[in-house]
Amino acid sequence: MGGVAGDDLAGWRGMTWRASHVLVRSGLFSAAAALVAVLLGRPDLLVFAVGFGVHAVVAILHRPGEDPRASSRLARDTVREGQGTRVRIGLERARGVEFVGATLLTHPWTGYHPPNGVLTHTASKSPSSTMRLVAEVASLRWGRREAGDGLVSAYSRWAGYQWGQAALPASPFTTLPVPGPFDSAAHAPHPIGLVGTHPAGRAGDGSEFAGIRPFVPGDRLRRIHWRVSLRTGALHVTSTVAEQDASVLLLVDSGVEIGASGGLGGAESSLDIAVRAAGAVAEHYLRNGDRVGLRVLGSTRHNALPTSAGGRHLRRLLDVLARISPGESRHVDAARLRFQVPAGAVVLVFSPMLSDRVVAATGLLARRGLSVVVVDTLPAGLDRREDPGHTTTERLAWRLRSLERDALLGRVTRLGIPVVAWHGPGTLDDVLRGLGRRAALPARGAAVAR
Amino acid sequence: MSTASDRQRILDGLSRLSRVQLLLRACLPATTVLMLVLVRVAGSELSTLYAVVVLLVSLAAAALPDSSAPFFLVVALAALWVVSVDEQSDRLDVFVLLAGWDLLVLHVAATLAGYGPPGTVVGRVLALRWAGRLGLMAAAATAVWLAARAASGLGLPSAGWVAAVALGVVLAWVGYLAVRLRDPDTADAD
Nearest to A77 by CA among A168, A175, A158, A170: A175
CA distance B23 to A307: 62
- Chain A residues inside the 8 Å CB shell of B143: 50
Is the model's pLDDT at B59 over the cut of 90?
Answer: yes
Interface of A with B in 14-33 (CB under 8 A): 16-19, 21-33
DSSP string computed for B22-75: HHHHHHHHHHHHHHHHHHHHHSS---HHHHHHHHHHHHHHHH-TTSSHHHHHHH
Mean pLDDT throughout A174-200?
Answer: 72
Q: What is the pLDDT of residue A88?
A: 93
Tens digit of each residue's pLDDT (9 = 90 or more) over B163-180: 777 778 878 887 887 777
Is the predicted pLDDT of residue B146 greater than 60, yes or no? Answer: yes
Going edge to edge, which strands form the sheet with A161-168? A18-19, A161-168, A150-156, A97-104, A118-122
Contacts with B, A 89-148, CB within 8 Å: 99, 101, 103, 114, 116-118, 120, 122, 124
Mean pLDDT for chain A overall: 83
Please enumerate in sequence order all residues whose Cβ is within 8 A of that of A442, keeping only pairs 6 or more positions apart, or say none: none
Strands A97-104 and A150-156 turn out to be antiparallel
Chain A CA closest to residue B74: A29
Contacts of B144 in chain A (CB under 8 A): 46-47, 50
How confident is residue A345, by pLDDT bands cut at 50, 70 and 90?
A: confident
Q: In chain A, which residues have their Cβ closer than 8 Å to the Cβ of B140?
A: 50-51, 53-54
Kind and range of the H or E run holding A396: helix A392-414
Show residues of chain B in contact with A150, CB under 8 Å.
Answer: none
In total, chain B counts a number of residues equal to 190
Asked if B146 is an interface residue toward chain A (Cβ–Cβ < 8 A), one would say no
Who's near A102: CB < 8 A, 6+ residues apart?
A89, A118, A119, A120, A133, A150, A151, A152, A153, A168
Check pLDDT > 50 for residue A2.
Answer: no
Interface A:B, Cβ pairs < 8 A:
153
Q: How many Å apart are CA B55 and CA A86, to the nearest integer? A: 44
* B interface test, pick of A47, A113, A153 with most B CB neighbours within 10 Å: A47
pLDDT in tens, A424-433: 888 888 887 7
pLDDT at B29: 96
Q: Is the pLDDT of residue A1 over 70?
A: no
Give me the pLDDT at residue A240, please: 76
Between the CA of residue A40 and those of A28, A36, A46, B44, B69, what are the distances in Å?
18, 6, 11, 19, 26
Q: Which of B85, B144, B184 sits opposite A46 (nearest CB)?
A: B144
Contact with chain B for residue A287, Cβ under 8 A: no
User: Is the Cα dihedral A200, A203, A207, A212 positive or negative?
Assistant: positive
Question: Is 0.85 exceeded by the ipTM?
Answer: yes
Question: What angle in degrees, to the nearest 10, is found between the helix axes of A392-414 and A356-367?
Answer: 10
Sheet of A304-308, strand order = A304-308, A291-297, A247-253, A346-351, A371-376, A419-421
* Cβ-based contacts of A60 with chain B (< 8 Å): 180
Q: Give B177→chain A minimum CA distance, Å.
A: 7
B74: nearest CB among A25, A50, A159: A25
CA distance B89 to B43: 7
Mean pLDDT score, A215-224: 86
CB count within 10 Å of CB B184 equals 13
| pTM metric for this prediction | 0.76
* CA count, 13 A, side-chain hemisphere, A398: 16
Please, what's the b/e burial string for B130-160 (b: 16 or more CB within 10 A of its CB; e: otherwise)?
A: beebbeebbebbbebbeebbeeeeeeeeeee
Q: Which residues of A touch B71 (CB under 8 A)?
A: 21, 24-25, 28-29
Q: Which residues of A touch B99 (CB under 8 A)?
A: 44, 48
Confidence of residue A447 (pLDDT cuts 50, 70, 90): very low
- Does B148 lie at the interface with A, CB-CB under 8 angstroms? yes
Element (H, E) at A306: strand A304-308
Q: What is the pLDDT of residue B140?
A: 94
Smallest CA-to-CA distance from A276 within A417, A81, A421 is with A81
Span B140-159, mean pLDDT? 80
> Do A32 and A106 contact (CB within 8 A), yes or no?
no
pLDDT tens-place string over residues A33-85: 988 888 888 888 999 999 999 999 999 999 998 889 888 899 999 999 989 99
B100 and A31 in contact by Cβ < 8 A? no
pLDDT of residue A424: 82
Residues A227, A228, A231, CA angle at the centre, nearest 5°? 90
CA A183 to CA A283: how far, in whole Å? Answer: 10
B148 to A48: CB separation less than 8 angstroms, yes or no: no
Q: Does A62 touch chain B (CB under 8 A)?
A: no
Q: Is A54 on the interface with B (CB under 8 A)?
A: yes
- Among A127, A118, A115, residue whose Cα is nearest residue A168: A118
- Is B83 an interface residue toward A (CB < 8 Å)? no
In chain A, what residues touch B185 (CB-CB under 8 Å)? 16
Gap between the Cα atoms of B181 and B178, Å rounded: 6
Name which of A427, A443, A350, A374 is nearest A186 in CA terms. Answer: A427
What proportion of chain B, given as a percentage, has pLDDT over 70? 79
Asked if B40 reaches chain A (Cβ–Cβ under 8 Å), the answer is: no
Residues 169-228 of A with CB under 8 A from B: none
Confidence of residue B58 (pLDDT cuts 50, 70, 90): very high
All residues of chain B having their beta carbon less than 8 Å from the beta carbon of residue A56 are 177
Does B154 contact A at CB distance below 8 Å? no
Which residues of chain B neighbour A53 with C-beta distances below 8 Å?
140, 173
Q: Are strands A247-253 and A346-351 parallel, antiparallel or unpaired?
A: parallel
- Quick check: A351 and A321 in contact, CB under 8 A? no
Contact A33 B133 (CB under 8 A): no
Asked if residue A222 has pLDDT above 70, the reply is yes
- Phi, psi angles (nearest 5°) of residue A380: -70, 150
pLDDT, residue A39, reads: 84
Residues of A in contact with B127 (CB under 8 A): none
Distance of CA B108 to the CA centre of its chain: 8
Q: Which of A47, A99, A159 sits opposite B144 (nearest CB)?
A: A47
pLDDT tens, residue by residue, A239-259: 877 666 678 899 999 888 888
Q: Of A146, A188, A259, give the one whose Cα is nearest residue A431.
A: A188
Mark yes or no for CB contact B91/A42 under 8 Å.
Answer: yes
DSSP string, A201-241: EEEEEEEEEEEEEE--TT--GGGB-HHHHHHHSS-EEEEEE
CB contact (8 A) between residue A122 and residue B125: yes
Beta pairing, strands A78-80 & A171-176: parallel
**pLDDT confidence bin for B1, thresholds 50/70/90:** very low
CB contact under 8 A, B115 and A155: yes
Cβ-nearest to A42 among B82, B111, B125: B82
